[in-house]
Amino acid sequence: MSNVGSTTARQKPRSNAWQSAITVVQEVEPPLVPAGAHAMTIVVEFPPGDPGTPPHRHTGPAFGYVLAGEMVFELEGEPARVVRAGEAFWEPGGDVIHYQDGNNRDDIPVRFTVTMLCEPGKPMLSLVEEDELARRADRRAPRAD
């Protein structure tokens, strides 16, 4: 008789490792989550020097974590910043433009994961047209380049 899967046969003593196994990398007040939203988790990898996704927006909030490398992260109204491996980022979604998510390094890839709460029936990502970028130029933080 096999005891595989049995919780009563020769149970190992419980571990206390779970009490110190968690490291909080990000804690935020959640923005409005679209009614009926579904969650989608993706992994993105851009090669060295890649500028990433063109300016875009998401229908709901997005929460991410850089697994390897360095990402340039820029949201409308905020200065661009570098998010390094082991660091988290988030965006509220909705009407906020996400300008940059590209690779900050030209010698290694960047790899990050993102969990998005998407509005039902809408794409998880919509590119922003050049004319809208021009109309909203005053909302973009000054850039060093």
- Over residues 30-47, the pLDDT tens digits come to 777 878 989 999 999 999
- Across the beta sheet with 110-118, what order do the strands follow? 38-46, 110-118, 62-68, 88-91
Q: From 104, 73, 85, 101, select the one nearest 25 (Cα to Cα).
A: 85
Which band of pLDDT confidence, cut at 50, 70 and 90, is reported for residue 105? Answer: very high
Question: Residue 111: beta bridge partners?
Answer: 45, 68
| Residue-range domains of the chain with CATH | 40-136 (2.60.120.10)
Cβ partners under 8 Å of residue 78, min gap 6: 141
For residues 94-122, give the mean pLDDT.
95
Determine the pLDDT at residue 21.
86
- Over residues 73-93, the pLDDT tens digits come to 999 999 999 999 999 999 999
List alpha helices for the chain, DSSP H. 130-135
Reply yes or no on whether the pLDDT at 53 is more than 60. yes
Q: What's the mean pLDDT when you consider all of the chain? A: 90
Cβ partners under 8 Å of residue 33, min gap 6: 60, 61, 117
Determine the pLDDT at residue 113.
97
Reply yes or no on whether the pLDDT at 3 is more than 60. no
